[in-house]
């Protein structure tokens, strides 16, 4: 009896040393990035769980094939090598649990080792939950349940595994919904851009009606010549990336001298972006342009700067000061 007690004490000391070293190594090697895995493929975890279950069955069969003496030997060696609860099928807890099942009466050394190993399996299960490794968490939960079915941590770990899986599934649903919303928004933007392009093309190509000047009567002085209607136009053969000609609002009586069109931003051209900018400005008495303001722009901030820069360089014949609005459509 005294020899058995001495052996048990020695085993406890060995377990304590191995556990301390193993926990320190686990904390040291714990990955810093515990970001949850992408949940865009809900079928993945199910396939992984099935594979893990099949592997567990094969490992259990291999352990059951070992003799009692071999299980004791391998359990002690696993402790010395700090394989406390991992890897699956080759760790101290599984060797001693199999030894418990195969022994006719409890083995004092194995039972003592399982008592000491269970708290560390609980810690490892909580770490697996933290990194959302539910397969490993479930494996450790099963080891804890086999070692002590009344372990206080078992209900908490079981509940955390279920809630963790539900959270991952919810994230997958939310990400799928967000992706669908983004796709729909992109289609809507594309449709609006096409409609704006069609409107701009119709406005550009529609001929303007001309009215003949009334013939002067002999008794009346000849009427003053009618000023040309201002039209802001793009080059006669615009490139695919050039902005569509601007549409005019106000500005009657203006005679343009120089109205260069805004350049298509290179980044927007590479990304295939289209849009529309409405700008207002003041034509001063000397024909220069000032107070250039963006009334609206879609998308905001993409074409605004080029439109402002181009309009500031516009020049008209001297006239009365007036405020004018122009609309620029950028299309590929």
DSSP codes of every residue in 116-138: HHHHHHHHHHHHHHHTT-HHHHH
DSSP codes of every residue in 224-275: PPPPPPP-----SS--TTSEEEEEEEE-TT--EEE-PPPPPPHHHHHTT--E
pLDDT value, residue 40: 44
Reported pTM: 0.45
Q: 318 pLDDT exceeds 90?
A: yes
């970001």: which residue's tokens? 35
CATH fold group of domain 243-330: TolA/TonB C-terminal domain (3.30.2420)
Q: 44 pLDDT exceeds 70?
A: no
What is the rounded distance in angstroms from the CA atom of residue 290 to the CA atom of residue 281? 6
pLDDT value, residue 232: 36
As a whole number, mean pLDDT of residues 150-156 equals: 94
Comparing 228 with 287, the larger pLDDT belongs to: 287
pLDDT band at 229 (very low <50, low <70, confident <90, very high): very low
pLDDT value, residue 254: 87
pLDDT value, residue 331: 87
Indicate the range of 19-33, 130-144, 223-237 predicted with least confidence.
Answer: 223-237
Residues 77-119 pLDDT 10s: 999 999 999 999 999 999 999 999 998 888 888 999 999 999 9
pLDDT value, residue 177: 94
Cα angle 24, 25, 30 (rounded to 5 degrees) comes to 105
Residues 177-206 pLDDT 10s: 999 999 999 999 999 999 999 998 887 665
Residues 275-285 pLDDT 10s: 999 999 999 99
Residues 6+ apart with CB under 8 A from 88: 55, 56, 59, 94, 139
Residues 6+ apart with CB under 8 A from 284: 290, 321
Q: 64 pLDDT exceeds 60?
A: yes
Q: 142 pLDDT exceeds 50?
A: yes
Residue percentage of the chain with pLDDT more than 90: 61
- As given in the structure block, the two tokens for residue 89 are 């099928």
Where in the chain are the domains? 10-30+42-173, 243-330
């Amino acid at each position: 009896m005294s020899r058995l007690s001495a052996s048990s004490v020695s085993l406890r000391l060995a377990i304590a040393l191995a556990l301390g070293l193993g926990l320190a190594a686990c904390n040291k090697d714990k990955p810093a990035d515990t970001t949850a895995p992408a949940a865009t493929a809900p079928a993945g975890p199910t396939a992984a769980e099935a594979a893990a279950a099949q592997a567990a069955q094969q490992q259990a069969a291999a352990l059951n094939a070992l003799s009692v003496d071999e299980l004791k030997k391998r359990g002690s060696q696993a402790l010395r090598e700090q394989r406390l609860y991992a890897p699956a099928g080759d760790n101290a807890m599984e060797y001693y649990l199999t030894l418990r099942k195969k022994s006719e009466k409890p083995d004092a050394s194995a039972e003592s080792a399982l008592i000491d190993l269970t708290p560390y399996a609980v810690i490892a299960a909580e770490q697996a939950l933290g990194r959302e490794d539910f397969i490993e968490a479930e494996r450790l939960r099963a080891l804890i349940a086999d070692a002590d079915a009344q372990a206080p941590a078992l209900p908490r770990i079981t509940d955390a595994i279920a809630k963790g899986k539900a959270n991952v599934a919810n994230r997958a649903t939310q990400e799928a919904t967000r992706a669908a919303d983004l796709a729909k928004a992109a289609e809507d933007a594309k449709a609006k851009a096409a409609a704006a392009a069609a409107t701009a093309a119709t406005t550009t190509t529609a001929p303007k009606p001309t009215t003949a000047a009334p013939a002067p009567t002999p008794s009346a002085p000849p009427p003053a010549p009618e000023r040309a209607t201002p039209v802001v136009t793009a080059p006669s053969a615009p490139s695919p990336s050039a902005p569509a000609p601007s549409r005019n609002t106000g500005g009657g009586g203006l005679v343009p001298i120089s109205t260069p069109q805004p350049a298509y931003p290179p980044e927007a051209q590479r990304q295939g972006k289209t849009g529309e900018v409405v700008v207002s400005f003041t034509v001063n008495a000397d024909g220069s342009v000032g107070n250039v303001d963006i009334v609206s722009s879609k998308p905001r901030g993409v074409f605004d700067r080029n439109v402002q820069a181009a309009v500031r360089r516009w020049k008209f014949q001297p006239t009365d000061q007036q405020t004018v609005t122009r609309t620029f459509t950028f299309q590929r």
